[in-house]
Amino acid sequence: MRKLLLASALVFSTITFANDSITIEEPFARAVPPGQPNSAAFMTLQNSGDKDLRIISATSNVSKVTELHTHTDVDGVMQMRQIDAIEIPAGGVTELKPGGLHVMLIGLTQNLAEGDSVEVTLNFEDGTERLLEVPVKHVMPMMNHQHKH
């Protein structure tokens, strides 16, 4: 019964607070070695509304601190920086992907292994929030998932 209440509360909160114009596709968090204190979550955000939207913070059930970060390549030097917000322009798409924007999970409270799932809540500037179930995956550029044994 408690589980059912919790589940309905979760569904209810998603319906109540989620921003309808935001569609989030293919969220994933990076699988990390045991003992690794941090990881990152990625996703594609699509804003079908006519207003620019901004994510101003995030939280997760697996990290002590969750921050918005970006990564830039300046003349071959990789620079990671914390940022105040991630903007999704009206009618536009913002990609959080390896090598660029990401939700940084700092101070992991558990190991993130492929097949696990983590919760990430995105807080928007307009006061709405979005709770995501994010699968944990091995991240490989070019997405070459063929494993030879």
Which of 20, 84 has the CB closer to other proteins?
A: 84
Here the tokens at position 96 are: 């959080």
Interatomic CA distance for residues 61 and 119, integer angstroms: 6
Say whether residue 118 binds other proteins (CB under 8 A): no
DSSP string, 69-108: EEEEEETTEEEEEE-S-EEE-TT-EEEE-TTS-EEEEEEE
Say whether residue 130 binds other proteins (CB under 8 A): no
Stretch that binds other proteins, among 1-9, 48-56, 86-94, 133-141 (CB under 8 A): 133-141
End-to-end CA distance of the chain: 45
Say whether residue 148 binds other proteins (CB under 8 A): yes
Site residues (vs other proteins, CB under 8 A) = 30, 32-40, 64-65, 67, 69, 71, 76-82, 98-99, 102, 104, 106-107, 138-142, 144, 147-149
